[in-house]
Structure 1
Amino acid sequence: MVCDGNFARPQITIFDAAGDPEHGYHLRGGRMLTTDNCECTWDLFKTILSLVNPGLSVFDETVAVDAQYQPDSKALLVDGCRAKVPVSSMGFSMKARFEAMFKALQ
């Protein structure tokens, strides 16, 4: 819609975060934004100007925050009590991981 839909940028709102204007927003999947996997999102963020830092894009701000707050994850899954859940207990055996990887490569 932004690049090809001929919509004016002020007519577009992206709803994909939790929070409020006073305290700020947190975009889900923050760790995903530390890699180049979200290419379309990065390209979009490069075209959106910062509301608080003139001359910077949302992409620039995101990269700066990522550099300042490096993820330090100790677990892939946690339960309702915030205890680490072994990935194998969720059915992700080493065999299952390899099968998923090979299916993805086909």
Structure 2
Amino acid sequence: MTDSNKDFESADLLMTLRALVTELRTLRVPIDDELWAFDDIALYLKLSQYTVERRVVVQPGFPNAFQPCANGKGSRAVKRWFAGEVIKWARQNRARLPTTRNACRVA
């Protein structure tokens, strides 16, 4: 194999990889349709997962969770929420959100 063939194959491979990266970036699920678990909500709200489980998702008006893999009564499947619904709820209820420990220390 000559050097020019190697260069051509390398350039072709690079173009293919760039096309794949572009395609993968465009196939992202829109944020509104992403499914979030407790840890995702905690990360977004900058709260601990414990606080989210005990003080946030139990508030009246918080979006209903669903369990995609639940197979009956007493199922231990992880609860999930649509991210768009959680974000909307957080914006509408920001005054009712628990404060972080760091915020309490600073005040």
**TM-score if structure 2 supplies the norm length?**
0.22
Specify which structure has the bigger relative contact order, considering alpha-carbon pairs within 8 angstroms and separated by 6 or more residues.
2
Say which structure is richer in helix: 2
**TM-score if structure 1 supplies the norm length?**
0.22
Q: Which has the larger radius of gyration?
A: 2
